[in-house]
Structure 1
Amino acid sequence: MNSQLFKIKKSHIRDFHEKVKKTENVLDFTLGDSNDHVNDEIKEAAIQSLENNETHYSESQGLYELRDMLRLKEMYYDVQEICITSGATQGLFEVMMALLKKGDGLLIGIPAYPSYISLCTLFELDLQTFVFDDEFQISESSIRAVIQENTKAILINHPHNPSGSALDRKSIQTLHRLSKEYDLLLIWDATYFECSSYLSLYCLLLHEKIIQIHSFSKSSLMCGFRVGYVCAPQNKINEIIKVHQLIQSCLPVFTQKSALEALHHPSMNYDEQKTYIIQRLQNMGVKVVKTQGPYYVFFSIEDFHISSEVFADRLLEEVHVAVLPGKYFYYENHIRMSCCIDLVKCKEGCDRLEAFVRRL
């Protein structure tokens, strides 16, 4: 058995969500999986594909017509520089396995999505962490302080999970400057990028250094379809495809046809719910940064003098509202709250949360 697996724990997020599912009358703000359903035309594309008996292998790299549409969308990538993956999760796995080797240093910002840390452990990379500033933007000095001789890449999630922030121009320019100065790959997890309009991390002058990992899960509500894609310069996508062919011959054609249809529809966002939650938290006197990204609110519980796990457990048990502890994202004294819930339930959840907070 791979001894590295003994160093990795099962997902705390998934374990907590299993507990949530066993709670009656719960209002669930844990996962980034909307209560809304995927567009009917996207579902119909999958059904029609199956009706047409498109049940055979596609090109390993993904359907040409899908990659060609993505080429038009991504602009600076050729159709051969795109690989269709089973969501961003598989894309990230393949990128890290293909482009980094044992002992390479990987820079990751804290708070961080937990699988980033687990993948570093699995691939025996040298995890090098920096902390985002108080607005969840990039502090150049904090990154410079941890860069070492073996540092090979920066993994950045923009827009960011769990903070719900979107990087500003200064942060992006800092990343570009450091990537160029230290000859670092810039691995961009763009899972939430299509949810609205944000500044791109792409820079034409750094084309050979930038790897993009995208997903249809959030913007098109296609979490269960498991479709994503990787964009990378030709010499790097060639190596990524080698890993891809070992893991999965290809994605099912019907899910790829659904993704193709999704490109013709507007993205989903939950800006109204996010604005509402932030306003309610501010009215409660809870410290919260008004971030510009989608899906998540990340608020401080430092003033309550209890751990994030205790806060989340008590909130679930006492008022049946489910949120995630900041500890799961390596950032104690904070709570992540997903916004992808309908506004009526969102208001009820905030009412319950306020009642709970008033008792602390």
Structure 2
Amino acid sequence: MLAERIRKIKPSGVRKIFDLAKKVKDPIDLSLGEPDFDVPKEIKEEAITWIRKGFNKYTLSAGIPELREKVKEHLRKKGIIFEEVMLTAGVTGGLLLCCLGLIDEGDEVLIPDPYFVMYEYQVMLAGGVPRYIDTYPDFRLREERIRDLLSPRTKAIIINSPSNPTGTVYSREELEMVARIARERDLLVISDDIYDRFVYDTPQAPSLGQIYEKTITLGGFSKSWAMTGWRLGYLAGPKGIVESLITLQQYSFTCPPSFAQKAALLALDYDTTPMIEEYRKRRDLIYEGLREKYEVVKPQGAFFIFPKAPNGKGERLVERAIAEGLFMVPGKVFSQRSTHFRICFAAPSEKLERAIEILKRLA
């Protein structure tokens, strides 16, 4: 009865661990990648105001004009190259539109490994073939590893920086190298910039959207303003592509949530610096706590760390940690390898300290 495309899709490994943690009393749950702070009060009040005013119906499929203009202004300040902008049902919704609108059956899409779980399966849902760029052991992009994967069927490259699950921020030189390859082969690049404000060691993370004109830049409000359940993102890129994806949205998501769009107008001006500084402290805490016992790369952004498990057995370590009440995600969920595990450090310092204590004992 099921379509062949859905038979290839496995339940989310992240959600599996998250659901398991919900059944345990007082778990140390470092599995799900969402901020542990609430939507700022001012933004919530703005949403409530518009709900009470009756702004609860469909909007234009591309989103309300005033927020599209605000997003354009935001992207111009970042130096992003684009011709048109649309609003989407989260970055995940924007990515799905890209995959369905741009990938044909058999097209190959290059994805750095480790990768966010959605990339692999959304490419497959569109009939595409994921090809994995090996970035181990330091999670950096290497030109020869990308060129080795190129074929006549290569259509696009997906880049996520800062990265989920590794916290890697790609350098300007790495992104220029990707842009050079993409330009040579006339490839599309999809740049997932959802964690662009979560940068700890440099003022700003460079983006491929600043370098290559055939980049589709994805961004959103879920991480920086904790609006994960409000499902609001944006997509920017070449005019012809964006206009076609707006049409596709008419026949899929219809439009982004109405009240969230109004609240997002305020969010884009809301200062997230104190929250980012708190996450930098947590990054330092978890990294310093694990580095003596684990092989681990210091994350430069996002709110994840991706250590290597003892003897390279990530799933076994996660099983042992769960027995101790600590919930993490095995690296195999994000990779073709099963050697690592992901910790989300968007959690109170007290929980992180308890997690460090357990992991040191299990090392």
TM score, norm. by length of structure 2: 0.92
> Residue 355 of structure 1 is aligned with which of 347, 355, 361?
361
Counterpart code for 1:156: I
Distance 1:182 1:77 in 2: 21
Q: CA deviation at 1:54?
A: 0.9
Aligned partner of residue 156 in structure 2, secondary structure: strand
Secondary structure at 1:124 match in 2: coil
Task: Using the TM superposition, name which of 129-138 and 94-103 deviates more.
Answer: 129-138
Matched position secondary structure for 2:155? strand
Shift of 1:221: 1.0
Given that 1:135 and 1:291 are in contact with CA atoms closer than 8 Å, whether structure 2 keeps it comes out as: no
Gap change, CA 1:311 and 1:292, over 3 Å in 2: same
The answer to whether residue 234 in structure 2 is matched with residue 201 in structure 1 is: no
Shift of residue 38, structure 1, vs aligned partner:
1.1
2:302 to 272, 294, 297: 294
Counterpart Cα distance in 2 of 1:34 and 1:162: 14
Distance 1:46 1:78, change over 3 A: farther
Residue in 1 that maps onto 2:344 = 338
**In 2 relative to 1, CA 353–133 (structure 1 residues): closer, same or farther, beyond 3 Å?**
closer
Q: Would the aligned equivalents of 1:105 and 1:153 in 2 still touch at CA under 8 Å?
A: yes
Alignment-derived partner of residue 260 in structure 1? 265
- Runs (5+) with no aligned partner, structure 2: none
Aligned partners of 2:326, 2:142: CA distance in 1, in Å?
Answer: 34
Letter in 1 for 2:97: E
Kept in 1: contact 2:83–2:238 (CA 8 A): no
CA distance in 2, matches of 1:4, 1:257: 36
Please give the per-residue CA displacement for 1:102-128, whole angstroms capped at 9, x wherever unaligned: 111111111112221112221111222
Confirm or deny that 1:277 pairs with 2:286: yes
Query: Equivalents in 2 of 1:240, 1:101: separation in Å?
Result: 15
Q: Tell me the amino acid that sits aligned with residue 307 of structure 2.
A: F
Among 292, 315, 333, the residue aligned to 1:309: 315
Distance 1:49 1:288, change over 3 A: same
State the Cα distance separating 1:78 from its structure 2 match. Answer: 9.7
Structure 1 position 86 matched with structure 2 position 102: no
Q: Does 1:6 align with 2:14?
A: no
Question: Are the aligned partners of 2:103 and 2:123 in contact in 1 as well (CA < 8 Å)?
Answer: no
Q: Does 1:144 align with 2:147?
A: yes
Matched, 1:123 2:123: no
Relative to structure 1, the CA distance from residue 199 to residue 80 in structure 2 (aligned partners, 3 Å threshold; closer, same or farther) is: closer
Hey, what does 1:41 align to over in structure 2? Answer: 42
What is the distance in 2 between the residues matched to 1:74 and 1:121? 30
Q: Is the 8 A contact 1:68 1:79 kept in 2?
A: no
Q: Are the aligned partners of 1:271 and 1:294 in contact in 2 as well (CA < 8 Å)?
A: no
SS of the aligned residue for 2:197 comes to helix
Q: Secondary structure at the match of 1:293?
A: coil
Deviation digits for residues 29-75 of structure 1, max 9, x if unmatched? 11111221110001001100011111222111001111111111111
SS in 2 for 1:347: helix
Please give the alpha-carbon distance, in whole angstroms, between the structure 1 residues aligned to 2:355 and 2:155.
43
State whether structure 2 residue 242 is matched by structure 1 residue 237: yes
Name which of structure 1's ranges 37-46 and 257-266 shifts more when overlaid on structure 2: 257-266
Question: CA–CA distance in 1 between the matches of 2:100 and 2:115?
Answer: 19
Mapped partners of 1:117, 1:95: distance in 2: 13
Could you tell me which amino acid in structure 2 is paired with residue 194 of structure 1? R
Letter in 2 for 1:237: V
C-alpha distance after superposition, 1:245-291 (max 9, x if no partner): 111221222111121111111234211101110001013x2110113
Q: 1: distance between equivalents of 2:172 and 2:83?
A: 30
Q: Is the 8 A contact 1:287 1:299 kept in 2?
A: yes
SS state of the match for residue 162, structure 1?
coil
C-alpha distance in structure 1 between counterparts of 2:82 and 2:43, whole Å: 23
Tell me, yes or no, if structure 1 residue 225 matches structure 2 residue 233.
Answer: no
What secondary structure sits across from 1:244 in the alignment?
helix
* Aligned mates of 2:198, 2:67 — CA distance in 1: 19
Assess if the C-alpha contact under 8 Å between 2:189 and 2:215 holds in 1: yes
CA shift in 2, pair 1:239/1:170, >3 Å: same
What corresponds to 1:325 in structure 2?
330
CA distance in 1 between partners of 2:174 and 2:321 (Å): 35
CA distance in structure 1 between the partners assigned to 2:229 and 2:7 by the alignment = 28
